[in-house]
Amino acid sequence: MDAAHQHDDLEINLVAEGGTMLYLFGGVPVEVGPGSVAAFWAAVPHQLVANSATRVHWIYVPFAEFLRWGLPAPLVSRLLSGAPLVAAPSAATATDPANFAQWADDLASGRPERHRIAMLEVEARVRRLALVTLGEPVRHYTGGSPALRQVIAMVRHIAEHFREPLTVADVAAAARLHPGYAMAQFRRVVHTTVGDYLTRCRLAEARRLLVTTDLPIAQVASASGFGSVSRFYGAFTAACGVPPARFRGEHQHTGLR
């Protein structure tokens, strides 16, 4: 995961062996330590910026399937708002390593019944994860190199202000850096431009609004920070493969209660 990226899935991680994974997630650094299980909506731009784990499991649940689970509304709202669920190792279950390995085999088997069983068990694990993490604050990383701290300041500023008009100078000022130097640091750590990262944040918010509200498309575009409806349509369709109205029709309110 060399660069910040996003995809329409619920992503679930387990650090099975080794050290810690450090994500830059939705504007803040988040640690997932040994034995920890984490779940988050991967439409929020995220990137693994440091990793000492030696064995990790990743499970991806398609967005539509995640919504069909009918999870409690506070849990869905938290995930769609960009706040990950991260359980401490003390909250892990003894069977997590074996379960994640079994799910990987089942999902790769091509057999519908094994796939269905795996998804039922993954859903149950997410529900258990919510029991010990929902309402708890996300544990944030406090260390890091000066370059990483500067980039974190810029990414956090983008995450907090993407709904507003933003310039490179605005983002650089958040880290108290010259714009040219700030952009070089940003690209070196995040492996993309400020403009691209800003668009990804706006697209994640647009997805959330399309799924959870009845706002007209033009208002979704404005509330997500896009300066024009045409630019929103172009960016959304390029990133998601379908226009906003179709995305809403496929996902809106499914399983929300």
The contacts found for 123-131 with CB under 8 angstroms, 24 or more apart, are: 123/69, 125/12, 125/37, 125/96, 125/99, 126/10, 126/12, 126/39, 126/69, 126/71, 126/85, 127/71, 128/93, 129/37, 129/39, 129/85, 129/87, 129/91, 130/71, 130/72, 130/75, 130/85
User: 2 lies in a domain?
Assistant: no
Q: Are residues 116 and 34 in the same domain?
A: yes
Residue 206's closest CA among 197, 219, 192, 194?
219
Lowest mean pLDDT among 4-8, 67-71, 72-76: 4-8
Query: And the tokens for 186?
Result: 């940003």
Q: Are residues 219 and 188 in the same domain?
A: yes
Residue 110 phi, psi dihedral angles, 5° rounding? 75, 5
Asked if 54 and 15 touch (Cβ cutoff 8 Å), the reply is: no
Residue that wins the pLDDT comparison between 25 and 118: 118
Q: Are residues 126 and 153 in the same domain?
A: no
User: 3 lies in a domain?
Assistant: no
Q: Are residues 56 and 106 in the same domain?
A: yes
Q: Is the pLDDT of residue 235 over 60?
A: yes
From 133, 166, 189, the end of a domain falls on: 133
CA distance 74 to 76: 6
Asked if 255 and 77 touch (Cβ cutoff 8 Å), the reply is: no
From 133, 166, 194, the end of a domain falls on: 133
Asked if 186 and 154 touch (Cβ cutoff 8 Å), the reply is: yes
From 133, 155, 178, the end of a domain falls on: 133
Give the model confidence (pLDDT) of 2-11 as tens digits. 677 888 889 9
Q: Are residues 117 and 151 in the same domain?
A: no
Q: Which residues contact 227 (CB under 8 A, 6 or more apart)?
A: 165
CA distance 107 to 60: 10
Q: Are residues 19 and 120 in the same domain?
A: yes
Query: Which pLDDT value is given to residue 254?
Result: 54
Q: Are residues 215 and 240 in the same domain?
A: yes
Give the model confidence (pLDDT) of 81-97 as tens digits. 778 888 888 888 889 99
Residue that wins the pLDDT comparison between 23 and 134: 23
Q: In what helix (H) or strand (E) does residue 96 lie, and over which residues does it extend?
A: helix 96-108
Looking at residue 202, which CATH number applies to its domain? 1.10.10.60
Query: Which pLDDT value is given to residue 143?
Result: 58
Q: Is the pLDDT of residue 104 over 60?
A: yes
Give the model confidence (pLDDT) of 136-193 as tens digits. 655 555 556 778 788 888 988 998 899 999 999 999 999 999 999 999 999 888 888 9
Give the model confidence (pLDDT) of 12-63 as tens digits. 999 999 998 988 887 778 888 899 999 998 888 888 888 899 999 999 998 8
Query: Which pLDDT value is given to residue 142?
Result: 55
Q: How many domains are contained in the chain?
A: 2
User: 236 lies in a domain?
Assistant: yes
User: 153 lies in a domain?
Assistant: yes
Mean pLDDT for 215-244 is 95
Q: Are residues 13 and 120 in the same domain?
A: yes
Residue 256's closest CA among 214, 198, 223?
214
Query: Which pLDDT value is given to residue 255?
Result: 46
CA distance 172 to 154: 7
Query: Which pLDDT value is given to residue 140?
Result: 52
Mean pLDDT for 108-118 is 94
Q: Is the pLDDT of residue 253 over 60?
A: no
Q: Are residues 13 and 129 in the same domain?
A: yes
Q: Is the pLDDT of residue 257 over 50?
A: no
Structural domain for 240, as ranges: 146-251
Give the model confidence (pLDDT) of 204-229 as tens digits. 999 999 998 999 999 999 999 999 99
Query: Which pLDDT value is given to residue 60?
Result: 92
